[in-house]
Each structure stands twice: as C-alpha cells, then as structure tokens.
A and B are shown apart, each in its own frame.
Chain A
Amino acid sequence: MNRTIALAAAAGLFGTAASAQDAYRIGLSGALTGPTAGSYAPAIEGFQLYIDRLNEAGGIDGHPVELIVLDDSGEASRGATNSRRLLGQEDVLLMINASLSSTFAPMMADASRAGVPLLFAASACPAEVFPPAQPLFYCTTAFGAVYDSRATLDFIEAQAGSDISLGLSAMAIPLSRGEIEAAEGLASERGMRPQAPTIVPPPTADYTPFATSISQAGADWVYSWAPWVTEVRTFEALRRLGWEGEYIAWAHLEAEGELARLQDPGFHAIGANSLFAEDLPVHQEIRAAAEAAGATYSPDQMAEGWVAGLVVEAALRGAGWPATAESVNAAMSQLDVDTQGLRGGPIQWSAENHFRATQYYRVYRWDADQSAIEVVQDWTPYTVE
C-alpha cells in the first residue's frame, strides 16, 4: 500500500506525464493556502481561468499554454523550493510570483541565475521593476510603492487642502511600514500634519486600541496602505469610537464587495483596477468564465489574475514559436497590452521600465443616495519615471 503511493508520487514528481511537447510552459508559485491566501488565491484562480479559456480557444497559434501551479503558503523556503523546481525540473519559459514579499528574494535570485523572466502578479511590485528596471523582473500588480501614496495625498489635498492632521495606519510587515513611512515624509513636504504611523501587528484580536490612538490625536483624514484586514478594521474600529473623519485606503481585490458591505461615504478606496459594477464586456467575460468553471472565489476579485493573463498571452505571442526564455524576456521588455478597461490605460513596458509607463488611479466610495459605488475621482494618470 505504502509502496504504491510512493511510486505513484515519484512518478508524479518526475514526469508531468501529459506534458505536450508543443506547449508553452509557464510556472506559478503562490500563496494558495496559509493565512494570507485570501489576498492571492482569487487572483491565481482568475489567472488559471484565463489560461484555460485561452487553451480552449486553441491556445496561441495552435500551441497550448501549460501552466504549472505550485503552492508556497506564503513561506519563503517553499517559494525557493518551488522556483528551483520550476526552473530545474519543469524548464519553464516564465515564472510568476503571486505571494508574500518574503518569497521574492529566493525566486529573484534563481530567476537571475537561470535567465528566466519573473512576473509579479497580485504580489507587491518590488523596487527592481521600477525605472531603472533590472532585466527579467516585471510586475502587473495594481499597486506600486510611492506612486500610490503620491496619488492618495494629491487626492486628499484636492479634497481638504493641506491644513489637515493626517492619521497613518500600516501593518507590521516591512512593505506596508515602508510605504506609510514614505507617506509620512511626503505629507510633511506638503505642509500637512502627519501623525506618527500606527503600526498594527498582523494577528490582532481588537483594533480599537490602535484606533484610539489615531482618533485621540485628532486626525481629520486617515490614510492606510496595508493588507485589506488592517485597512478596513482600523476604519471600522475608528467609526465605533465615534470618529467622524474621512478615511482613504488602497483598493485591494476585496474592495468592491467591502464598499457595499460598509456603506460608509467617509470610506474612500483608491485603486488602479476598474470595478465590476461598471459591467464592461471584459467583466462579463470574467463572470462567465468563473461561472462556467464553478470557481471558488468571487469574480470581482479576479481582475488581477485576468490582467496577468492578458500580459502573459501577449508576451508569449510576441516571443513566437518555438519560444525560449530569452525570446519571452525580449517580448516582455517592449510590451504594450490593452487592458480592455480593467485598468485606466494600457500596460506598457520598456527596457527601462517594467512597472508601466503610466499608472492610472481612481477613487471610489459608497454613495448612500444611489445605494451604489460612485467614482469620486476618475482615472488620473501618473507618469512613471
């Protein structure tokens, strides 16, 4: 009994039995389980749906795309094992990371060694993809360090001027702390009065103590750039303390459902993805694909994965057949992808810039009169240099 399982397992690890010789092979390592899976798994599912649909439609010029998905639970060591396996065993043309930032370093080191491009999708964009970009690293994720805070502060300034006290909230993970500390500096430059950032440890039973210190410092506006839990629970705790100021937070993939749940016009979500309430053709397409596949996650959380799918398809098309890691990388370094309305504009990459040439932001909030989400500020472009 035991032996049969072991043999079957060994076979499974050695040969991806049905692997077609004429397929584009790409690999993804992401947080499909573990405490942070909620922020990544929906996007990964969206990406899988896109690739499945692409293959059903005949693949790319008759060649299917073989996607190997591995789980890293958001753990660095498992991410490292996965990237070694994708590169050493599966010989993929392109790796995709959809996980916590702690998994970046090992995957980046391995990708550089092997000369295989690495795309960050749904995970935070590392500094290496911004100009001057390093070769091989690309990012399609909506949020981008510093630009987000700049756009947010511009919005706050347009709404309330710069004579305000600004509360700042972050999660105790390096990425979020770094961004909020940067925002503190940017706000000071504008003459705002930023509070010292309130940094919340990830497992927190009650956010009220953190909210208390923000509220008692007399914040007019509060800005939070952190995983969704921290953003929304700090806000809810503030409201329950009787705080009546305005709040703005990054619109993660949960945003659409959450704005409707909160129904609070004082809660602004700034983001780079369009919402499914708009019901563009691409949104209908994602909904239909999710429904047909009996997807686990809600389609309105899959935009990130779909965008990654559009980009990967374009990159593989650009690389031609037979593709190599170099040809895929060459195609990616001069990519121009129409996001079909999922974003405010196209994703354009150049040798220097692997984030996007222009980043577009929108601000949403709940409109109590209409009982619907309204756009407070439409697409605002920021040139990425």
Chain B
Amino acid sequence: MQLLANIIVLGAIYALISCGYVLIYRVSRVLNLAHGELMMVGAYLLLTTAGMIPNPWIAIPVAGLLSLAMGALVYLLLMRRMTGESVLAAILTTIALGILLRGVVVIFFSAAHQYPSVPLGLHASSVEVLPGARISSLSLVLVVVTALVYGSLFAFLRLSRWGLRMRAAGQNPLLAAQRGINLHGIYAMVWGIAIFTGSIAGMLISLDAGLDQTLIMIGLKAFPGALVGGLDSLLGALVGSLIVAAAEVLLIQYVNPLLADVVPFLILIAMLVFRPWGLFGTREALDRV
C-alpha cells in the first residue's frame, strides 16, 4: 500500500513537470531544456511573493500568474526569433537560457537553501491516504493539483476554441496560419501554460522540501517519463511518468536504491529501440524533426 502511494506521488511529480515539455513540443516542436530552470525561477517567484504577502492564498496564485507571464515572455522575447532555425539551435537556445537563469537566480537569491513554506506558515503533516499508507499533506495536494491540471488541459484542448487552434498549429502550422490563426499568439500562450504548470510543480516541491538549485535536476529527471509516453501526447506523459515512477520506487525497495538514477534512462533506451515514438506518441512525429 505504501509503495502504491509512493508510486502515485512520484508519478504525479514527474507528470506535473513533464506536461510542460509535452505542451511546448507538441505545438512548436521545440524541446525546452530550460524547463527545469524556469520551474526553479517559478519557485523563487513564490519565495518572493511569500516574503511580501505571507498568505498562501494570495502568494501562490500571484506567483502562478507571474510564471504564466514569464513563459509567454520567454517565447515573445526569445524563442520567437528562433523560428525557422535548426532543431539543434533551438534546443541550444533553451540550454543557454537555462545557464543564464541559473546565474541570475544566484545573483538575486544566493545559493543558500531556502524555505518558502516558512513565511507562509505552512507545515506539511502526515496524512493516511490508504490503510497503512501515509504521505505528506503537500504530496496529497500535489497529486490533486496534477489531476486538476491534466483534467483541465484535456478539456481545454478538446473543447475550447483556443485549444482547437493550438492543436491545429501543432499539426500544420502553415495551414493554420493561412486560416488566420495568430501563430505567435498561440505559441506564447502555450509557453505560458507550460511554464505555469512547471512552476506550480516547482512551488509545491519547494514548499515541501525547500528550494535551491537542485530543483533543476529534478526537472530533468521528469523528462524520461514524457519521452516514454511519447513527446507529443499528454496522456503519454501521464502514463510514462507513472511507469518511470513505478520502476524507480520498486527498484529502491527491492533491488538497489542506486539504480534509481539510471533506470529511467534504461527504460528510455528500451523504448527508443522498440517504439521510438513512445507509447502514445504519433509515428509521424519522428519524421518531422
């Protein structure tokens, strides 16, 4: 039971982070390797707002809105200029952005380990979710938030007009542009949403565990999940994250905790050999890049 709870929590963390990779890739075919850094900046935004307004009901939404704006700005100011450049150049731009952000964060916030939960007066308590299985209350919040995010993303993509436009832009940008869809607007929105979800993940993790630069590495560790599921499928990101989380938790418990670090990538290699487009990805995505 405890193991199941652990798998679900870890899977939710990975899934909440990796939907940002998928959203951006699906619509603009760019792999955003600065996702971990942007997620960290989102968490530092919370640290800042928490320092000014010590009320979680205000500080968290304000930081969330700021991160939404940050995502859109990253597209409008930087990534927009990379349209038409090679895949590698676009990836490298995101990496360069990541390096820049790491430095900037140290300048403004120093490298010390800090706790946004302290000014907000939040304390994680232990909750019994299943008979014999306990998790931290913040982990419970994280699982619920992940479910909400995925639920609303599915609904948004399927049902709303903007969602339809997003899908159209992802499938055939040229045609979409000819039909009068504002591509830059769509892309900016997608970047905004992606960084928003990533930042929420960063905020929740840092409320539980504190905040420093290691958050970036966690952002990177969520990536195999997205790939196992298929980089252009949201459902895939969810399932893939759960698979990777399950493998990790079971190995830690029964084999050797050290393997936890490599196994996501082993699953990834197996996946790339047998079904490179991922569990739920579309096959033609392979040829497009």
Q: Is A113 an interface residue (CB 8 A)?
A: no
B143: min CB distance to chain A, Å: 11
Q: List, in ascending order, chain B residues with CB within 8 A of A254's CB.
A: 113
Q: Size band of the A side of the interface?
A: 35 or more
Q: List, in ascending order, chain A residues with CB within 8 A of B102's CB.
A: 33
B126 & A241 in contact (Cβ 8 Å cutoff): yes
Partner of A228, one of B110, B113, B134, B249: B113
B2 & A198 in contact (Cβ 8 Å cutoff): no
Q: List, in ascending order, chain A residues with CB within 8 A of B181's CB.
A: none
B220 & A213 in contact (Cβ 8 Å cutoff): no
Partner of B115, one of A205, A229, A242, A261: A261
Partner of B6, one of A38, A200, A206, A236: A206
A205 & B221 in contact (Cβ 8 Å cutoff): yes
A205 & B216 in contact (Cβ 8 Å cutoff): no
Closest to B110 in A: A296
B112 & A42 in contact (Cβ 8 Å cutoff): yes
Closest to B249 in A: A209
Closest to A301 in B: B112
Q: List, in ascending order, chain A residues with CB within 8 A of B9's CB.
A: 206, 208
CA distance A239 to B136 in the complex (A): 9
Q: Is A298 an interface residue (CB 8 A)?
A: yes
A261: min CB distance to chain B, Å: 7
Q: List, in ascending order, chain B residues with CB within 8 A of A202's CB.
A: 214, 217
Given contacts A206-B6, A213-B253, contact A38 B139 (CB under 8 A): no
Given contacts A200-B257, A201-B261, A213-B257, contact A33 B10 (CB under 8 A): no
B10 & A206 in contact (Cβ 8 Å cutoff): yes
Q: Is A276 an interface residue (CB 8 A)?
A: no
Q: Is A240 an interface residue (CB 8 A)?
A: yes
A212 & B209 in contact (Cβ 8 Å cutoff): no
Q: Is B185 an interface residue (CB 8 A)?
A: no
- For chain B, the count of residues having a C-beta within 8 Å of the partner chain is 43
A35 & B2 in contact (Cβ 8 Å cutoff): no
Q: Is B222 an interface residue (CB 8 A)?
A: yes
Find the residue from A33, A42, A233 having the highest chain B CB count within 10 A: A33
Partner of A229, one of B6, B106, B112, B214: B214
CA distance A237 to B9 in the complex (A): 13
CA distance A239 to B218 in the complex (A): 22
Mask, A116-154, CB within 8 Å of B = 1, is: 000000000000000000000000000000000000000
Partner of A240, one of B112, B124, B257: B124
CA distance A261 to B118 in the complex (A): 8
B257 & A206 in contact (Cβ 8 Å cutoff): no
Q: Is B3 an interface residue (CB 8 A)?
A: yes
Q: Is B96 an interface residue (CB 8 A)?
A: no
Closest to A239 in B: B126
Given contacts A38-B212, A199-B258, A205-B14, contact A33 B218 (CB under 8 A): no
Q: Is A172 an interface residue (CB 8 A)?
A: yes
A172 & B111 in contact (Cβ 8 Å cutoff): no
Q: Is A107 an interface residue (CB 8 A)?
A: no
Q: Is A216 an interface residue (CB 8 A)?
A: yes
Q: List, in ascending order, chain A residues with CB within 8 A of B14's CB.
A: 205
B261: min CB distance to chain A, Å: 4
CA distance A212 to B260 in the complex (A): 14
Can you give 10 contacting A-B residue pairs, CB < 8 Å? A37-B111, A201-B258, A203-B214, A203-B217, A206-B139, A216-B2, A229-B113, A229-B214, A240-B126, A261-B118
Known: A228-B113, A296-B110. 14 other contacts (CB 8 A): A34-B213, A41-B112, A199-B258, A201-B258, A202-B217, A203-B214, A203-B217, A205-B218, A205-B222, A206-B6, A208-B9, A209-B249, A240-B139, A242-B134
User: A residues engaging B (CB < 8 A)?
Assistant: 32-35, 37-38, 41-42, 172, 198-210, 212-213, 216, 228-229, 233, 236-237, 239-242, 254, 261, 296-298, 301
Enumerate the 9 nearest inter-chain pairs by beta-carbon distance, A residue then B residue, closest first.
A203-B217, A37-B111, A201-B261, A240-B136, A209-B252, A240-B126, A209-B249, A205-B218, A35-B213
